[in-house]
């Protein structure tokens, strides 16, 4: 199947699957009554988000967020920044965020759009945020190229993607993970994971797996961004609830998150020249 046809099919499948937004499973499981209850849980469960996303220093910035989920980050950014644009492939997330903004009387742009193909205006955003989205798109490199193009010179980007060398990868695929390190082959090509692993990371309320999920190394990300003369920094975060089960989550995050974490937080700036 031609690459473009494969990408189109992935986008269609993503559009269907993610119409139940990321986070909705937790919303139902814990019986939250409204977005305020969900947001309080979300920000406490992922306490490191505030370390990576500059919520309090965006007052003069034009911000783009890619992948909206239940809208916690979207509302926090949009209520603090000068100009906010949010895009998501799935209508479910778009409608949730629009409703949040309407209720909070926030004036912002929210679009149902695919980052891989949407004609974002070049050199137009001071800050781009994408938390847990780009590893599902079907082509991480194209998504990053789009982000770099739409950032202003000197603009900043913060991405979260799944870590190819997390404790979970070592437990589930030890030999394949070891080979990635030994081979030092950082060439990127879109590579979907098996259904069982995808279901472990992102099941919906029906127990279905996300259509596409890839796991990325800092070497791959460095190589992609090097072509733009960009040299990112990276930090791992997050630990699953079952890992080292008896320990409280905040202990696990402090002890293991920084070197075995499930997620990679990537920070970079677009060169001025």
HEC secondary structure over the chain: CCHHHHHHHHHHHHHHHCCCCCCHHHHHHCCCCCHHHHHHHHHHHCCCHHHHCCHHHCCCCEEEEECCCCCHHHHHHHCCCCEEEEEECCHHHHHHHHHHHHHHCCCCEEEECCCCCCCCCCCCEEEEEEECCHHHCCCHHHHHHHHHHHEEEEEEEEEEEEECCCHHHHHHCHHHHHHHHHHCCCCCCCCCCCHHHHHHHCCCCCCCCCCCCCCECHHHHHHHHHCCCCCCEEEEECCCCCCCCCCCHHHHHHHHHHHHCCEEEEEEECCCC
Number of domains present in the structure of the chain: 1
Q: Which domain holds residue 174?
A: 3-269
pLDDT at residue 21, rounded to an integer = 95
pLDDT at residue 245, rounded to an integer = 83
pLDDT at residue 4, rounded to an integer = 59
pLDDT at residue 30, rounded to an integer = 94
The dihedral built from the CA positions of residue 230, 53, 127 and 272, taken in this order, carries a sign that is negative
Here the CATH number for the domain that contains residue 150 is 3.40.50.150
Per-residue pLDDT of the chain (273 residues; tens, 9 = 90+): 455 567 789 999 999 999 999 999 999 999 999 999 999 999 999 999 999 999 999 999 999 999 999 999 999 999 999 999 999 999 999 999 999 999 999 999 999 999 999 999 999 999 999 999 999 999 999 999 999 999 999 999 999 999 999 999 999 999 999 999 999 889 999 999 999 999 999 999 999 999 999 999 999 999 999 999 999 999 999 998 888 888 999 999 999 999 999 999 999 999 997
Tokens found for residue 58: 């965006």
What pTM does this model have? 0.95
Alpha-carbon span 192 to 137, nearest angstrom: 10
pLDDT at residue 65, rounded to an integer = 98
Cβ-proximal residues to 55 (8 Å cutoff; 6+ apart), any chain: 76, 77, 80
């Amino acid at each position: 199947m031609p690459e473009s046809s494969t990408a189109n099919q992935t986008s269609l499948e993503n559009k269907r699957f993610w119409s139940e937004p990321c986070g909705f499973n937790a919303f139902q499981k814990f019986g939250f009554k409204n977005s305020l209850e969900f947001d309080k849980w979300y920000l406490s469960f992922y306490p490191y988000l505030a370390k990576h996303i500059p919520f309090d220093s965006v007052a003069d910035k034009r911000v783009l967020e890619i992948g909206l989920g239940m809208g916690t980050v979207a509302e926090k950014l949009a209520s603090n920044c000068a100009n906010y644009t949010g895009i998501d492939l799935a209508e479910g997330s778009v409608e949730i965020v629009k409703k949040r903004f309407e209720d909070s009387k926030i004036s912002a742009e929210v679009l149902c759009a695919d980052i891989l193909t949407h004609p974002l205006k070049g050199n137009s955003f001071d800050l781009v945020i994408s938390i847990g989205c780009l590893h599902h798109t079907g082509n991480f490199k194209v998504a990053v190229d789009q982000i770099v193009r739409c950032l202003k010179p000197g603009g900043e980007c913060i991405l979260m993607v799944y870590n190819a060398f997390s404790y979970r990868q070592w437990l589930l695929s030890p030999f394949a993970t070891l080979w990635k390190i030994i081979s030092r082959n950082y060439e990127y090509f879109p590579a979907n994971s098996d259904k069982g692993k995808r279901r472990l990371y992102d099941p919906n309320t029906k127990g279905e797996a996300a259509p596409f999920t890839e796991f990325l190394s800092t070497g791959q990300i460095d190589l992609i961004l090097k072509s733009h003369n960009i040299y990112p920094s990276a930090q791992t975060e997050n630990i699953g609830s079952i890992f080292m089960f008896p320990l409280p989550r905040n202990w696990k995050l402090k002890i293991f998150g920084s070197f075995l974490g499930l997620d990679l937080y990537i920070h970079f700036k677009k060169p001025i020249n």
